[in-house]
């Protein structure tokens, strides 16, 4: 006789055996969208190309060859050092196998001395293992140390074990070849976008002068080869559609050993052109990885350009009275190619489209600003032509803002008394922060940019508006104040809405990084989705992400004491690792945990959450579900009659959530 133990209130069939632990590459196959783009396989091929480029960046390779085979597979060949194929000292398995079958296994964790790479785009160690997981077949051949090794996978599993033999006469001495057959089950279409691939390969050649990059298409029997000896400026000059107003501004700067702020080798190379018309060219890279969504290195370039141009204009007294210059005035007609080197880059997401490393802003700006100031003082006539362009942009912007102010100034609504408004009436610049609590609101008011940032503090928990009739919304004082401050009336998804009264281009939810803060965030998102859907549709609603930790690093040698902020545990670990590599033990780093926004000073809140150049601001969109499916999901979470459904959700997923109370 056997007895079974049932947990009171547990769902039928929910027991210890119901919990599934994903092993090996299973997480990638279950949720490929968390690791790569699923519209086409370009990104999983790019991971292999990036590895070849990292070898060239480290000075060990001069050639990269990509072949599009007639059977739909893609091969990437380099002449780098070759992936090691001996046994791993701790894992007891061939390193070549571990690289392609283990998440978070790679040679790019230990940056600086002792690591395989000083600078690389790879950080998480999941790149080519994701490629392998989402490929129906993958073959890798590594030439190294007088031997060649070959290994074959199918669906991420080894199907032909590693075979290692001595090199024969005439064989290449070193390098890696990876051939991938993308699995059509994981992608909307299995064909690579040829235009994007061509642009990617050409950019690699641009960023690595002297390295030859070749693309072979077996189907069309075409071969393209790129090698740029002129670097970024030649590439930008060839790509521009219009003639530059002044000669291209190009330069580079890298930190030397013992630099007080940056690691040896960190820095940037750039080429900037200013045009009066035509489409702009804006490309940025971090350790040769393209960042199409920009990031803090782009912000550093913008900051450096702005400070240098403003300094030149002030020195020569060129600015008319009443004209206030802003960074976007300088940047409005700037085309650029930027290549940054960052020791430990922090990217937004695995596909690395945006750089989030806070130090990159200071890094790029520190080299761009003095270089441009010197160039402008050496070429005064070119500087004056650029100043005219910038001043015209500022005057046009101010005229547009004045028109908006006249149109909106006749409104009869009285703004809420607790709203601390901004000075500007330029919709494209204005931001409203809905801040949890009066203490955090006070810090936000003191730390904000009063020209363009407004603050509306909220007291306590907001009303759950999911089932509130629209004509009853204004009975709640908090919701009334939000609607009046925004300047848009509540509406439904099919209503004709007048957005001309909108007072802020960005409406930002700012709450504590704890359970109560998350609750307030959900209540506000419910309000906007249910009663202000056009604001979400038009891209006006955002969620600010304040950091959880502050790390105080003591002075070491010539380097002064510094402060670093981490969004989560992962970033905290990365900061501590970087400090350890710079000779500061973890025990000497003081770690502070922010329990709420009220603990932050005005300066800290500005640096981490309000400053447009360094903050994390997440746009609110529908995501993977359409409006109807999103409404059904929110109804399950917020509807009064859905308590049973919520309980089922908690029983199913409660153990997967880490709650910080």
Q: Which residues are annotated as a binding site?
A: 14, 51, 78, 122-128, 352
Annotated binding residues for ATP, as ranges? 14, 51, 78, 122-128, 352
Cα–Cα distance measured from residue 32 to residue 30, given in angstroms and rounded to the nearest whole number = 6
Cα–Cα distance measured from residue 624 to residue 630, given in angstroms and rounded to the nearest whole number = 9
82 contacts 144 by C-beta, under 8 angstroms:
yes
For residue 512, indicate whether it is catalytic: yes
> Running DSSP on this structure, what letter comes out for residue 610?
I
What are residue 137's DSSP bridge partners? 181
For residue 514, indicate whether it is catalytic: yes
For residue 381, indicate whether it is catalytic: no
Paired tokens of 405? 């102010």
The residue among 298, 271, 285, 435 whose CA lies nearest residue 365 is 298
Annotate 583-599 with b (16+ C-beta within 10 A) or e (fewer).
Answer: ebeeeebeeeebebbbb
Q: Which of 54, 97, 373, 436 is catalytic?
A: 436
For residue 359, indicate whether it is catalytic: no
Paired tokens of 459? 């007291």
Q: Sign of dihedral through CA atoms 127, 129, 135, 137?
A: positive
Q: Which of 139, 514, 599, 648 is catalytic?
A: 514
Query: Which region, left, alpha or beta, applies to residue 211 given φ > 0 means left and ψ of -120 to 50 means alpha?
Result: beta
486 contacts 502 by C-beta, under 8 angstroms:
yes
The residue among 468, 433, 438, 240 whose CA lies nearest residue 333 is 240
Residue 48: which H helix or E strand, with range?
Answer: helix 42-57
- Residue by residue, DSSP assigns 320-331 as PTT----HHHHH
What are residue 290's DSSP bridge partners? 285
Paired tokens of 92? 């007891």
Cα–Cα distance measured from residue 93 to residue 91, given in angstroms and rounded to the nearest whole number = 5
What are residue 140's DSSP bridge partners? 151, 178
Strands 267-274 and 74-78: unpaired
Paired tokens of 546? 């304040």
With tokens 């009064």, the residue in question is 640
Q: Which of 478, 512, 571, 607 is catalytic?
A: 512
Cα–Cα distance measured from residue 624 to residue 619, given in angstroms and rounded to the nearest whole number = 14
Q: Which of 234, 516, 648, 651 is catalytic?
A: 516
With tokens 């969109």, the residue in question is 621
Paired tokens of 497? 């809405």
Cα–Cα distance measured from residue 305 to residue 272, given in angstroms and rounded to the nearest whole number = 9
Largest separation between any pair of C-alpha atoms in the chain: 97
Paired tokens of 154? 């199918």
3-state secondary structure of 66: strand
Instruction: Please list the active-site residues.
Output: 436, 512, 514, 516
């Amino acid at each position: 006789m056997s007895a079974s133990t049932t947990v009171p209130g547990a769902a039928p069939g929910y027991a210890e055996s119901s919990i599934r632990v994903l092993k090996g590459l299973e997480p990638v196959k279950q949720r490929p969208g968390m690791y790569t783009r699923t519209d086409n396989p370009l990104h999983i091929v790019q991971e292999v190309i990036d590895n070849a480029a990292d070898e060239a960046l480290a000075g060990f390779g001069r050639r990269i060859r990509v072949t599009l085979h007639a059977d739909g597979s893609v091969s990437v060949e380099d002449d780098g050092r070759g992936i090691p194929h001996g046994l791993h000292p701790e894992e007891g398995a061939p390193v070549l196998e571990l690289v392609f079958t283990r998440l978070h296994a790679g040679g790019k964790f230990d940056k600086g001395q002792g690591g395989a790479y000083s600078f690389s785009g790879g950080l998480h160690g999941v790149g080519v293992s994701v490629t392998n997981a989402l490929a129906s077949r993958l073959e890798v051949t590594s030439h190294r140390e007088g031997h060649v090794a070959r290994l074959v996978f199918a669906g991420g599993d080894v199907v032909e074990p590693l075979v290692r033999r001595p090199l024969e006469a005439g064989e290449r001495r070193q390098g890696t070849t990876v051939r991938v057959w993308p699995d059509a089950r994981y992608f909307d279409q299995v064909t690579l976008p040829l235009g994007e691939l061509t642009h990617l390969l050409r950019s690699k050649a641009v960023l690595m002068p002297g390295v030859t990059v070749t693309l072979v298409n077996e189907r069309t029997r075409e071969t393209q080869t790129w090698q740029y000896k002129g670097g970024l400026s030649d590439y930008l000059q060839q790509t521009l559609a219009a003639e530059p107003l002044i000669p291209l501004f190009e330069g580079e700067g890298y930190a030397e050993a013992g630099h007080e702020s940056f690691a040896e080798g960190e820095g940037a190379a750039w080429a900037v052109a200013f045009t009066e018309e035509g489409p702009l060219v804006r490309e940025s890279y971090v350790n040769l990885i393209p960042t199409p969504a920009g990031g803090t290195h782009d912000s550093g370039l913008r900051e450096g350009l702005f400070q240098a141009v403003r300094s030149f204009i002030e020195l020569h007294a060129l600015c008319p009275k009443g004209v206030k210059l802003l960074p976007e005035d300088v940047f409005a007609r700037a085309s650029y190619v930027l290549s940054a080197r960052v020791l430990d880059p922090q990217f937004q997401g695995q596909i690395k489209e945006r750089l989030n490393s806070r130090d990159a802003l200071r890094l790029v700006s520190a080299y761009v600003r003095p270089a441009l100031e010197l160039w402008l003082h050496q070429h005064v006539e070119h500087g004056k032509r650029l100043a005219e362009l910038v001043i015209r942009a500022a005057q046009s912007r101010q005229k547009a803002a004045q028109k908006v102010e006249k149109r909106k100034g006749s409104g009869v609504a009285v703004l809420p008394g607790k709203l601390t408004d901004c000075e500007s009436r330029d919709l494209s610049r204005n931001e409203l922060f809905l801040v949890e609590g009066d203490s955090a609101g006070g810090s936000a008011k003191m730390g904000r940019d009063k020209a363009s940032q407004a603050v509306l503090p909220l007291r306590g928990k907001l009303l759950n508006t999911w089932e509130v009739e629209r004509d009853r919304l204004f009975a709640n004082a908090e919701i009334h104040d939000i609607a009046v401050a925004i300047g848009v009336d509540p509406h439904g998804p099919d209503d004709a809405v007048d957005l001309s009264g909108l007072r802020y281009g960005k409406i930002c939810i700012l709450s504590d990084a704890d359970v109560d803060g998350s609750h307030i965030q959900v209540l506000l998102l419910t309000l906007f989705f249910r009663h202000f859907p056009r604001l979400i549709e038009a891209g006006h609603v955002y969620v600010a992400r304040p950091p959880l930790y502050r790390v105080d690093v003591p002075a070491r040698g010539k380097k002064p004491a510094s402060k670093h902020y981490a969004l989560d545990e992962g970033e905290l670990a990365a900061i501590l690792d970087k400090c350890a590599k710079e000779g500061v033990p973890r025990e000497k780093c003081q770690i502070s945990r922010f329990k709420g926004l009220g603990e932050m000073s005005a300066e800290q809140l500005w640096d981490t959450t309000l400053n447009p150049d360094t903050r994390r601001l997440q746009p609110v969109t529908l995501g993977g579900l359409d409006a109807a499916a999103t409404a059904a999901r929110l109804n399950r979470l917020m509807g009064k009659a859905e308590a049973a459904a919520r309980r089922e959700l908690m029983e199913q997923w409660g153990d997967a959530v880490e709650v910080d109370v």
